[in-house]
Copies of this chain bind each other. A is one copy, B any other.
Amino acid sequence: MTAGGLLLSLGGRALAGVDPLPSWNESGARRAILDFVRRVATPGSPDFVPPEARIATFDNDGTLWAEQPLYFQLAFALDEVKRLAPQHPEWRNREPFRSILAGDRKGVMASGEKGLGQIVAATHAGMSTEAFAETVKNWFEIARHPTLGRPYDQLVYQPQLELLAFLRANGFKTFIVSGGGVEFMRVFAERSYGIPPEQVVGSSGVVTYATGPDGKPVLLKQAKVEFVDDGPGKPVGINRFIGRRPILAFGNSDGDLQMLQYTAAGGGARLPLLLHHTDAGREWAYDRRSPIGKLDKALDEAAARNWQVVDMKADWKVVFPP
């Protein structure tokens, strides 16, 4: 079954009164979610929230899908450098491209933020938005995760698919609010999560309007960062794109701290959730010292403020869809 089909069947089951969260163990996290949704969605409840204000925002990398051993969008970019290399003989002697082509991970990392900027410019700019989306779509079809062997879009978290469907069945509007590139995520978000393009908030580069060689309008992706939807950028992005404060937010790293603070600080019932990657057997275990998805300050703040921490190992029956 496709993720989309799975979502539909889950939605149907939720409506039919069957357990809407079958992949969540009986635990505090599951109870907190069920209790919160019941309180805000039940007319007459003191915590009732009208449907239009039932806004739920989810980080993507490490919250809705995996992010190890490196962010999947970065894996895409590195694959793109390899695919495009024959057209760029000059890359053989230029960092960070030389290291990418030589499979030298350390060399790539050594190029730092400047190198990352060059990788993004080489793989995410200089084409139309439509051509870029087509490239990403093709990559999802052929690329496989280096250790798990699956297509990347099958590394979404099954319990989160159930949670998204459960929230929507209870009148929530579900959004992605991620540091990932918005044009990258929109390619698979509707199919994988049931989240339409207009509900995906992410980082973006400058796009310009031009007339193509065929006389038709075209939107061109430029090599200039426009908005970084991470850290304090997340509440800013929420305000800009959604214009309402979420009542539920789900993250997994310090990049989500401000989104969780902003969500928690609103009036009425609130549910800030933090996924803790504790499952070295089925997924990965990492937090305070991980270069990817570092979870340090937000873990302290969750403890101090009683935010709900979801322990992947303890709280999830399964991690990925079957």
Residues of A within 8 A of B (CB): 52, 55, 129, 173, 175, 182-183, 186, 190, 196-200, 204, 207-209, 216-217, 219, 232-233, 235-236, 239-244, 258, 261-262, 265
Residues in B whose Cβ lies below 8 Å from that of A198: 55, 173, 175, 198-199, 241-244
| A217-B261 CB under 8 A given contacts A186-B243, A207-B240 | yes
Q: Is the CB of B52 within 8 A of A209?
A: no
Contact of A197 among B186, B208, B244 (CB under 8 A): B244
Q: Is the CB of A243 within 8 A of B208?
A: no
Q: How many copies of this chain does one complex carry?
A: 2
A255 and B76 CA atoms in complex are apart in Å by: 37
Residues in B whose Cβ lies below 8 Å from that of A199: 198
Q: Is the CB of B209 within 8 A of A258?
A: yes
| A52-B196 CB under 8 A given contacts A219-B236, A240-B207 | yes
Q: Is the CB of A217 within 8 A of B182?
A: no
Residues in B whose Cβ lies below 8 Å from that of A244: 196-198
Shortest CB-to-CB span from A313 to chain B, Å, is: 31
Shortest CB-to-CB span from A209 to chain B, Å, is: 4
Q: Is the CB of B207 within 8 A of A239?
A: yes
Residues in B whose Cβ lies below 8 Å from that of A216: 265
| A204 closest partner in B (C-beta) | B240
Q: Would you list 16 pairs from A and B whose C-beta atoms are within 8 A, ordered by A residue?
A: A52-B196, A173-B198, A182-B240, A186-B243, A197-B243, A198-B199, A198-B241, A198-B242, A207-B240, A208-B236, A209-B235, A209-B258, A216-B265, A217-B235, A217-B265, A219-B239
Shortest CB-to-CB span from A241 to chain B, Å, is: 6
Residues in B whose Cβ lies below 8 Å from that of A262: 209, 217
Contact of A243 among B175, B182, B217 (CB under 8 A): B182
Q: Is the CB of B258 within 8 A of A235?
A: no
A198 and B172 CA atoms in complex are apart in Å by: 13
Q: Which residue, of A197, A208, A258, has the highest number of chain B Cβ atoms within 10 A?
A: A197
